[in-house]
Amino acid sequence: MITPSLSPDVFARYPGLENLGRTATRLHPRPGSVTAAGSHVGGPLRWPADEPWPTCDLPYMVQEEVPLPAELVARLREAESRRTQAHVLADGEVELHEEIARLVGTGFSGWGSVDGGQVVGYRYGPRSHPGPNPMIPLAQLRAVDVPDLPRPGGADLLQVLWCPFEHTVPPWGPTVELRWWREADLTDLRAEPPRGEAGADEYVPRPCRLHPERIVEYPYPDELPEHLRRLVDKHEDYLDTFMAPGWKVGGYARWSLTDVLPTPCPRCAGPTTLALVIDSSERGSARWQPRRADGEPDDDSYEPTEVIVGRYGALRIFVCLSCPDAPFLLDQQ
Ligand SMILES: [Zn+2]
Ligand SMILES: [Zn+2]
């Protein structure tokens, strides 16, 4: 995959921006066959036979259905029929909604029916895994394939695993484990990983090969020096021009949902490095539309991995390269 290069003209609008460039590797995951030997999303890992497989024991959220009594549904329908405008509630409807919420209980999120069947109330509640739940492989990245991969302690292989559920603790999505290795140390490998609960579809990656490509990114507007930040406000295409969408290693983080948040190491409180962005889509502006070797636009960039995080956002993993075991923190935007 090749990203069309940036016209040098765009820097004329931002004096000094060129000096703030930072490399990133776009991973360009695309569905394909993968093996434990390679870099990929969603495939088998080179896992040492004597290394315990990571598990999760945090509770997660499930949606439960509570059938609503027929007479309550009848009263609701009767009230709705008295509306004079489709979107203006009739007398008594608010009280009925409150009654449904009380009946459904804590975690109430609404009601509905499938194909005109039984009307049910919905609520979210915590549930525990039946036992420590084996995580699933999310990605395996080799430094030889991904030039911007951090290399804590001289590691040249990163494995990312997660528990594919909506957990009850921030950032609410999957729990994540990282493992850093030197490939030369991986000799006696495990044949089959343990299997856990199936998980939510949007957290189970479709196996993808990677087509890594090194690009240069520039800081998120709020992280620019003052004189540049003022210029960005006038040019709304800054983000689409200077920050890449999709899965990537390195580069800069976007802060589209919150203001720029500090990302201190959870152990030493020192600075961290953006190691990996897990993005719901690689689709962005025309500037970042990847092209295949034959020059044609690559149309498979929409949701290549089928992983959707947050509200169609991105999960970012920041690692501390100063602490010996590379602690990390997650941020979801
Ligand atoms: Zn879990
Ligand atoms: Zn640290």
The residues placing their C-beta within 5 Å of ligand 2, an ion, are: 265, 267-268, 270, 320, 322-323
Q: How far is the CA of 172 from the centre of ligand 1 (A)?
A: 10
Distance 276 CA to ligand 2 centre (A): 17
pLDDT for res 299:
79
Distance 255 CA to ligand 2 centre (A): 22
Does pLDDT of 268 surpass 90?
yes
pLDDT at 218: 97
Q: Decide: helix, strand or coil at residue 154.
A: helix
Which pLDDT band, with edges at 50, 70 and 90, does 257 fall under? confident
Do residues 55 and 133 lie in contact, with contact meaning Cβ atoms separated by under 8 Å? yes
Cα of 330 vs centre of ligand 2, distance in Å, is 14
Nearest ligand for residue 131 CA? 1
* Residue 252 near residue 222, CB atoms below 8 Å: no
Ligand nearest to the CA of 272: 2
Please say if the pLDDT value at position 236 is more than 80.
no
Fold topology of 8-48+134-332: Hypothetical protein YwqG fold (2.30.320)
CA 299 to mean position of chain CA atoms: 21
- Residues 259-278, mean pLDDT to the nearest whole number: 96
Taking residues 167-194, report their average pLDDT: 93
50-91 pLDDT, tens per residue?
999 999 999 999 989 999 999 999 999 999 999 999 889 999
Cα(26) to ligand 2 centroid in Å equals: 26
Which ligand minimizes its atom distance to the CA of 126? Answer: 1
pTM over 0.85: yes
From ligand 2's centre to the CA of 272, what distance in Å?
7
Which pLDDT score, from 0 to 100, does residue 42 have? 96
**Residue 285: pLDDT band by 50, 70, 90 thresholds?**
confident
Residue predicted with more confidence, 8 or 222: 222
Q: Report the separation in Å between the CA atom of 24 and the middle of ligand 1, taken as the mean of its atom positions.
A: 30
Write down the pLDDT at residue 1.
86
Domain ranges within the chain, ordered by starting residue:
8-48+134-332, 60-127
Instruction: Give the distance (Å) from ligand 2 centre to CA of residue 294.
Output: 44
Structure tokens at 257: 């949902």
Report yes or no: 119 and 74 within 8 Å, Cβ to Cβ. Answer: no
* Backbone dihedral region for residue 185 (phi beyond 0: left; psi -120 to 50: alpha; all else: beta): alpha
Residue 267 alpha carbon to ligand 2 centre in Å:
5
Ligand minimally distant from the alpha carbon of residue 55? 1
More reliable by pLDDT, 234 or 17: 17
Of 179, 240, 246, the C-alpha closest to 208 is 246
Residues 199-215 pLDDT 10s: 999 999 999 999 999 99
Gap from CA of 9 to ligand 1 centroid (Å): 49
Going by pLDDT thresholds of 50, 70 and 90, the confidence category of residue 217 is very high
Give me the chain's average pLDDT, please. Answer: 94
State mean pLDDT over 119-130: 94
Q: Which of 43-47, 113-117, 199-203 has the lowest mean pLDDT?
A: 113-117
Res. 191 pLDDT band, cuts 50 70 90 = confident
pLDDT tens per residue across span 294-304: 989 887 778 99
| pLDDT given for residue 293 in this prediction | 87
Q: What is the DSSP string of 31-93?
A: E----TTS-EESS----BTTSPPPEE---EEEEEEEEPPHHHHHHHHHHHHT-SSTTSPPTTH
